[in-house]
Amino acid sequence: MKIILWFMVLWFPIALFGQRVEMRFQIKDANTQENLTGVTVRYDKTGTRSNLNGIALIKTNEGVHEFIFSYTGYETLTLKLDIKQKQEEIQIQLKPVTKELNITTVSGSRFEKRISEEITSIEVIKPATILSRADNSLDDALQRVPGVDVIDNQVNIRGGSGWSYGAGSRVLVLVDDMPMLTGDAADAKWDFLPLENCEQIEVLKGASSALYGSSALNGVINFRTGFAKSKPHTKIMLYNGLYGNPPDKSWAWWGKQQPGFQGGYLMHAQKFGQLDVVFGSAWFSEDSYLQGDLNRRARGNLNLRYRFKKIQGLTVGINANVQKNKSQTFFFWQPDSIHGDRFLQPFGGLEDTSTTINKNNGFRGNIDPYLTFYARNGGRHTLRTRWFRSNNSIPEKKQSSIADTYFGEYQYQQSIESYNPLLNKLNIVLGWVNSFSNVNGLLYGSHKVFNSAPYLQLEKKFNRLWTTLGARYEINQVDSYKVEKRPVFRAGANYELTKYMFLRASYGQGYRYPSVAERFVETNFGAASVFKNVDLTSETGWSSEIGLKTAYKINSWLGFIDIAGFWMEYKNMMEFNFGFFPPEGSNPYKIDSVQYYLEHFVGFKSINVGRSRINGIDISIMGQGKIIRTVTGRFVFGYTYMNPVLVNPDSNILRNVSGPTHTLKYRYRNSVKMDMELSWKRITWGNTFLYNSFMQNVDETFEATKPKENPIGGSLFQIGTGLPTSVHAFRQKYYKGSFVWDTRLAYQFTPQVKASFIIRNALNTIYAERPALIGPLRNFTLQLLYDM
């Protein structure tokens, strides 16, 4: 009797509902036949996601079922299938949506989402854009992004930071979702990033510390490398360029041998069964228009990814990138450049004992092992690790340093598709990050920096409304100093007003822990000294935004318009200021040598400058379509207005600002950027226009505009170096801002071969990125590309 009862218990549900069947969907892109990872499959009031092989495994009963396949950037597919016990693999092909509003990003939420559904402003740079302009370093490409400026290698978004002598960054740079800032100066090495293997670059505007931690105070730049597709892909690019003469030929120091540059790269990607391989290399050589400034570098990189067949959903991989570089960096022009004839020559000349030229034999390298596992319930487990070394060898100036950073992150993602309204369209991201940096060198001394941070983000969609809540708990320590702990939060919403119009609002807290360089640097650069500040405190702040993104269609033209108003507040903002910093126990009043004062008591030091506020508007417009039947065009336009001000600054802060206003140093109030391109048959003609308004305030030290308020600042700097006179004269002459026009012409010889001729700064505009440094003169580049 018991046997009969057990038989009924086990087999009655099967008789009633049918036998359980395991099904296998192979999901691909309908155009490229590439496997699609992370496709959501909904069925029977539940759901799952496809793994890295594009396979979704499910279990259901025999009979007719409805399956819904959805993926960001693709049309949703609904199928009714009659499931039988012996079910073969089912091929599913999704059609991509080509509209610009369906560009997908991962930086804004750690999930792939349409850019129009994000809660903050995001700009996307595609590799074709970088190629068309012959950019050889990422900072060149970023200069053309609306709302983004790079001032002497230091990036800022919407005026969130200025120029801080290469130390510290309020914008976090990621490569494949992992930080790529050096362990000592916490700065980005733009020429180290492998442009030859660039899949997409995402620029996230606004505080993102809740997602990414310290240094994401002002935003995030995520550089995503690519993987092998179904067909092998080879790309080879070579270029050669020359700098032209300045408008006043008396500035030219080079005689008959024009300064110039050359370089190139190659990349090959291919699948070998379950193994994906991408390798590349790049090289660059430049003798600059700035005397003594040169750059030599060679880079090699490799991406390997293995997708297990027997363990469904498991993928392991390793990425590596190494670069050797030799550089000489121009810092200040000659102090007697008031008439312009020595703007392009270095302060202190070229002799090792006096020059301000920095000579560096450097090395950069990273190795990134990782593991990803897609569970049957659609959850994704990711373990990312990185070793990153930055080695600067500058023995002549006793500024050498080596920084090793070890990074590890575990992350779990779950996207829930359910008929339960509370759980449906719920995305969960949680994880824990740990990093350790070991810094050694003459420039900073020896230091150890530790960071740990758990984080959680929840996203929920209610019909047309996306909502986001995120939190992170930052733990930081340097050496044996006190452990610093701080929570940061983030919230936002995006509402779909119409099919192609989205309204968004967000608020995010920001946080930045001082870098080793800002706290412990002790050096001089020929003109003045730099002092350490071990008591420097962390920056905090918040960023908010309200934005509207809408698509438009005018005849054959499609595009979008994005308008955002932003407001940022910072406390304890860290900036280098020039001042009088006598060491403890010293008596500076017994010293009568100006040079001794400059070397031992007066110089630059990173300090907390109090509260600051930055607000404004950011407008982006994009379009593409036909002008006439055989001519197509596209354009990107951006305008940013910023109001960056110090809030209730004290007299010590104000006397270090060159102008009479409270405007933050090294910011532009107005910025206009536009790129347009026309294509006819095999010919493409493109133009880039960049305008920045006059930089109202710099360090008072460089202009000596306040001799009464700051007698030991600019005045003493003038006596010791002579620089402020020339800087002030230059800023008085070039006070209307800068307008730079680049133009390019390309011809497609075959589907694989294209030649381009690019002229940068075609009008030969004279401008300074920061005091005592002239921006690039007109230059000409010939580029040849093979892409198959």
Nearest in space to 532 (alpha carbons), one of 514, 506, 550, 545? 514
pLDDT at 334: 86
Of 71-80, 126-135, 256-265, 622-631, which one has max mean pLDDT? 256-265
- pLDDT-derived band of residue 341, with 50, 70 and 90 as boundaries? low
Cα separation of 126 and 675, whole Å?
14
Cα separation of 615 and 431, whole Å?
32
Pair 508, 209: CB distance under 8 Å: yes
Kindly report the average pLDDT of the chain as a whole number: 87
Cα separation of 764 and 775, whole Å?
10
- Terminal C-alpha separation, the chain: 72
Weakest-pLDDT range from 4-8, 191-195, 545-549, 757-761? 4-8
Nearest in space to 397 (alpha carbons), one of 340, 365, 364, 351? 351
Cα separation of 45 and 726, whole Å?
73
C-alpha dist (Å) from residue 24 to 37, 57, 60, 515, 545: 14, 5, 11, 50, 44
Nearest in space to 94 (alpha carbons), one of 165, 30, 164? 30
Pair 60, 20: CB distance under 8 Å: yes
Residue 546 makes CB contacts below 8 A (sequence gap 6+) with 503, 504, 505, 564, 565
Does the pLDDT at position 430 exceed 90?
yes
Cα separation of 108 and 116, whole Å?
11
Q: Could you tell me the two tokens for 201? A: 């670059």
More confident residue, 17 or 716: 716
Convert 6-38 into a string of H (helix), E (strand) and C (coil).
HHHHHHHHHHHHCCEEEEEEEEEECCCCCECCC
Count the neighbouring beta carbons within 10 Å of the beta carbon of residue 131. Answer: 19
Q: CB-hemisphere CA count at 13 Å for 576?
A: 29
Assign 633 to helix, strand or coil: strand
Q: In what order do the strands lie in the sheet with 574-580?
A: 523-524, 529-531, 602-608, 574-580
* Cα angle value 304/307/309 (rounded, 5°): 150
pLDDT at 698: 92
Cα separation of 231 and 35, whole Å?
12
In DSSP terms, which residues pair with 267 in a beta bridge?
Answer: 235, 280
H or E stretch at 421: none
Q: Are strands 122-125 and 148-151 parallel, antiparallel or unpaired?
A: unpaired
Does the pLDDT at position 597 exceed 80?
no
- What totals of helices (H) and strands (E) does the chain contain, helices first? 9, 44
pLDDT at 106: 61
Cα separation of 653 and 611, whole Å?
11
Does the pLDDT at position 263 exceed 70?
yes
pLDDT at 31: 76
How does pLDDT run across 212-257, given as a tens digit for each residue? Answer: 888 888 899 999 999 998 899 999 999 999 999 999 888 999 988 9
- pLDDT-derived band of residue 102, with 50, 70 and 90 as boundaries? low
Count the neighbouring beta carbons within 10 Å of the beta carbon of residue 637. Answer: 18
Q: CB-hemisphere CA count at 13 Å for 387?
A: 6
From the number of C-beta atoms within 10 Å of its C-beta (0-12, 13-18, 19+), residue 379 rates as middle
Does the pLDDT at position 707 exceed 70?
yes
Cα separation of 425 and 390, whole Å?
42
Weakest-pLDDT range from 143-152, 431-440, 715-724? 715-724
C-alpha dist (Å) from residue 562 to 206, 210, 513, 696, 779: 15, 24, 32, 28, 33
- pLDDT-derived band of residue 595, with 50, 70 and 90 as boundaries? low
Does the pLDDT at position 50 exceed 60?
yes
pLDDT at 11: 41
Assign 777 to helix, strand or coil: coil
Pair 549, 501: CB distance under 8 Å: yes
Does the pLDDT at position 591 exceed 80?
no
C-alpha dist (Å) from residue 102 to 47, 105, 317, 368: 23, 9, 29, 30
Nearest in space to 392 (alpha carbons), one of 531, 185, 532? 185
How does pLDDT run across 647-656, given as a tens digit for each residue? Answer: 988 877 888 8
Does the pLDDT at position 280 exceed 60?
yes
Secondary structure E strands in 483-630 = 484-498, 501-512, 523-524, 529-531, 539-554, 557-571, 574-580, 602-608, 611-628
Average pLDDT (713-729) is 78
pLDDT at 12: 42
pLDDT at 96: 74
* Cα angle value 684/102/121 (rounded, 5°): 95
pLDDT at 599: 64
pLDDT at 101: 47
C-alpha dist (Å) from residue 484 to 361, 488, 513, 609: 35, 13, 9, 20
- pLDDT-derived band of residue 4, with 50, 70 and 90 as boundaries? very low
- pLDDT-derived band of residue 403, with 50, 70 and 90 as boundaries? very high
Cα separation of 643 and 63, whole Å?
64
Average pLDDT (47-55) is 77
Average pLDDT (195-208) is 90
Average pLDDT (342-361) is 88
Rg of the chain, C-alpha, whole Å = 28
* Cα angle value 176/177/178 (rounded, 5°): 95
Q: In what order do the strands lie in the sheet with 63-70?
A: 46-49, 40-43, 63-70, 77-83
How does pLDDT run across 620-647, given as a tens digit for each residue? Answer: 999 999 998 889 999 999 999 999 999 9
Nearest in space to 516 (alpha carbons), one of 185, 55, 747, 263? 185
pLDDT at 8: 45
* pTM of the predicted protein model: 0.88
pLDDT at 279: 97
Does the pLDDT at position 586 exceed 80?
no
What single-letter DSSP state applies at residue 333?
B
Cα separation of 132 and 626, whole Å?
20
Secondary structure E strands in 226-374 = 233-243, 260-272, 275-287, 294-307, 314-329, 358-374
- pLDDT-derived band of residue 52, with 50, 70 and 90 as boundaries? low
Cα separation of 283 and 236, whole Å?
12
Does the pLDDT at position 166 exceed 80?
no
Please state the φ and ψ torsions of residue 452, each to the nearest 5 degrees: -145, 140
Percent of residues, the chain, with pLDDT higher than 70: 90
Assign 519 to helix, strand or coil: helix
pLDDT at 7: 43
Pair 411, 384: CB distance under 8 Å: yes
Does the pLDDT at position 16 exceed 90?
no
